[in-house]
Amino acid sequence: MPNVLLVTSYGCTPCLRVKRILKELQAELPNITLEEVEYTSPTGAKLSMENSITYPPAVFLDGKLIAKGKVDAAGLIQAIRGNTVTIRGNS
């Protein structure tokens, strides 16, 4: 079962967009586990430092960073559906 972790922040409009995309994908593929972590929380800060995330959103799939910053929706969906393409976005 794929585990998706979204690093997000309060008031982050791009984060809301990515969250909506992930929720829609989860409705289509119910085996996806979706978890959120606040960018400024200890866990979010640790993930950000370890993965050079300068600002949210960031998306991890099974522990691997697949998107951050300005996330490409089509690439994100493709990566989560099982394609091996990694979309990092711009940061």
Q: What is the pTM of this model?
A: 0.86
- The answer as to whether 59 is a domain residue is yes
Whether residue 71 lies inside any domain: the answer is yes
Per-residue pLDDT of the chain (91 residues; tens, 9 = 90+): 789 999 999 999 999 999 999 999 999 888 899 999 999 999 999 999 999 999 999 999 999 999 999 999 998 998 888 743 444 455 4
Q: How many domains does the chain have?
A: 1
Q: Residue 87 falls within a domain, yes or no?
A: no
Determine the angle formed by the axes of helices 73-80 and 13-28, rounding to 10 degrees.
40
CATH number of the CATH domain containing 32? 3.40.30.10
Place of tokens 């606040």: 38
What per-residue confidence (pLDDT) applies to 84? 39
- Is 88 part of any domain? no
Instruction: For the chain, give percent helix, strand, coil, nearest 5.
Output: 35, 25, 40
Domain that holds residue 38: 3-80
* pLDDT of 89: 56
